[in-house]
Amino acid sequence: MARQAKKRRPSRPRSALREELFNLPNTLTMGRIVAIPLVMFFMDRSNDLDVGGYEARLAAFWATLVFFAASVTDFLDGWLARKLNLQSAVGRFLDPLADKLLVMVCLIELVHLDRAPAWLVALLLSREIGITGLRAIATEEGIELASDRFGKWKTAMQLCGLGGLLLHFSIPTDFFIYTTPINYHRVGLALLTGSMVFSVISASGYMVTFLRGAFGKRVGDPA
């Protein structure tokens, strides 16, 4: 008796996969990943050079500039994907991966450079990994975990906090009316710590939404 051929799942043509991988939104997303070593390079330079010297401040400025330029592509690639109707499975995988890698690598490097406390970074990373896993389970179960306002505030404060910690030094800042020195390390650390509050609130909201979808009733309702 002839052995029956195993059924194969229909595979996507290589040409289609190549087009998805190198379309404009996904190219921007991959650019965000490529920017990570460049940010780390400038961070190390700002720490290795004469502390507070011109070259160290310049390296810190470039690290911050590259970081924010990469962060902007997070909003740009999603907008372009919707505008140009280029949403794809590759993009849905790469976009959150690039976001997490950029933030997580910067946080770990900040601990290495002694610019952020390890306990704070550990809490932030634990939250990010936990929510990523929860989203994966929710997707498999058909439960939608939409971003809420607390998650958006967390992201905004976290990015601004990271930018402040990357800039690091006390730099005279022009506010048009007057110029005053600002210690960007302290500002960044305060914002990053504040983002932890919104991280906990948004994570709690995601968990409640997941449990409601999983059990089909309000959490706390009588059985």
* Rounded distance between C-alpha atoms, residue 19 and residue 55, angstroms: 42
Per-domain boundaries in the chain: 18-215
Distance of CA 161 to the CA centre of its chain: 13
Tell me how far apart the alpha carbons of residues 131 and 165 are, in angstroms, rounded to a whole number. 24
C-alpha dihedral (184, 187, 190, 192), degrees to nearest 10: -60
pLDDT at res. 219: 44
Q: Are 9 and 79 in contact (CB under 8 A)?
A: no
Share in percent of the chain as helix, strand, coil (round to 5): 75, 5, 25
Measured between alpha carbons, how far is 61 from 163 in angstroms, rounded to an integer?
A: 9
Q: What pLDDT, on the 0 to 100 scale, is given for residue 40?
A: 93
pLDDT reported for residue 50: 63
| Residue 220: per-residue pLDDT | 46
Cα separation, 206 vs 219, in Å, equals 12
Q: With H, G, I as helix, E, B as strand and everything else as coil, classify residue 147.
A: coil
CATH class of 18-215: mainly alpha
Q: What is the pLDDT along the chain (223 residues), one digit of tens a residue?
A: 444 444 455 555 555 666 666 778 888 888 899 999 999 999 998 887 666 678 888 999 999 999 999 988 888 887 887 888 877 777 777 888 888 899 999 999 999 999 999 999 999 999 888 888 888 888 777 887 777 788 888 888 999 999 999 998 888 777 777 788 888 999 999 999 999 999 889 888 888 888 888 787 444 444 4
